[in-house]
């Protein structure tokens, strides 16, 4: 890390916008992470500054189109916070939300810590063996930057990779391990009208591959997935535009459905 970069200063700049659903504008040059290592240091500092618990992680930019849209070199890891976790049927305000989209995602809950080394990356089999449960999820992302599209990779990571609200369903009871999650269809309805369709393969080719990417990404930056962490692995559909008073339902077929109401 450059001696002139102080992650706590970047976190202090972003904190008011995170707390108030406000806007921080672009990061000043002195606060801008030079690489992923500095960006994750700033992200950790922001989590500490928030003074609340992280419940797990999100993976952003899991499609090539998404990566090109925000100008990043690959997927990004961000923190999920307890205050913005919601249950099925929740009513969530869009106040201050500049992105105004929803994403339909698979969410894995970890049953044990996943230690590893950079020299020997974890395999999909090793990572999936540590998964305790599957949930369905709706993410309502947001950015604290005026123009998140041009913010840059380091700034986006520092800002929890556009994390905000997440709706988590109950534990999936079906034998999901026997399914091909890459081929599994996902549909979205807004106010009872079908608006989007996708599948698990839209998430880095397979949600399980995405989870494995995250496990190794964290190890590469001195952290790891821990028991109890919930990971939303990226959107299975193209992000769906939403507005106030929309009722959103994501349909994962045999695995169930999940809904949220967006309010003023």
Residue 4 has pLDDT above 90, yes or no: no
Residue 7 has pLDDT above 60, yes or no: yes
Model confidence at 174, pLDDT cuts 50, 70, 90, reads very high
Alpha-carbon gap, residue 258 to 191, rounded angstroms: 13
Q: Encode pLDDT of 191-242 as tens digits.
A: 999 999 999 999 999 999 999 999 999 999 999 999 999 999 999 999 999 9
Contacts of 55 (CB under 8 A, 6+ apart): 80, 81, 82, 85, 229, 230
Residue 3: predicted pLDDT: 61
Residue 143 has pLDDT above 90, yes or no: yes
Alpha-carbon gap, residue 148 to 74, rounded angstroms: 16
DSSP designation for 197: E
């Amino acid at each position: 890390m450059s001696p002139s970069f102080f992650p706590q200063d970047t976190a202090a700049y972003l904190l008011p916008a995170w707390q108030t659903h406000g806007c921080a504008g672009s990061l000043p040059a002195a606060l801008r992470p030079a690489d992923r290592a500095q960006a994750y240091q700033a992200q950790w500092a922001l989590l500490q500054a928030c003074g609340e618990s992280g419940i797990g992680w999100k993976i952003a930019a899991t499609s090539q189109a998404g990566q090109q849209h925000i100008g990043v070199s690959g997927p990004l890891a961000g923190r999920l916070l307890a205050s913005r976790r919601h249950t099925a049927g929740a009513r969530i305000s869009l106040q201050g939300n500049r992105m105004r989209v929803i994403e339909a995602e698979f969410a894995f809950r970890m049953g044990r810590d996943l230690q590893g080394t950079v020299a020997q990356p974890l395999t999909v089999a090793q990572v999936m063996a540590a998964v305790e449960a599957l949930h369905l999820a709706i993410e309502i992302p947001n950015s604290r930057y005026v123009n998140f599209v041009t913010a840059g990779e380091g700034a986006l990571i520092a800002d929890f990779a556009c994390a905000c609200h997440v709706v988590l369903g109950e534990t999936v009871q079906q034998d999901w391990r026997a399914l091909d999650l890459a081929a599994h269809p996902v549909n979205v309805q807004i106010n009872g009208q079908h608006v989007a369709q996708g599948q698990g393969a839209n998430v880095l080719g397979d949600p399980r591959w995405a989870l494995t990417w995250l496990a190794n990404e964290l190890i590469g930056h001195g952290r790891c997935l821990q028991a109890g962490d919930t990971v939303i692995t990226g959107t299975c559909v193209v992000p769906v535009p939403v507005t106030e008073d929309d009722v959103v339902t994501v349909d994962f077929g045999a695995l169930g459905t999940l809904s949220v109401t967006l309010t003023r």
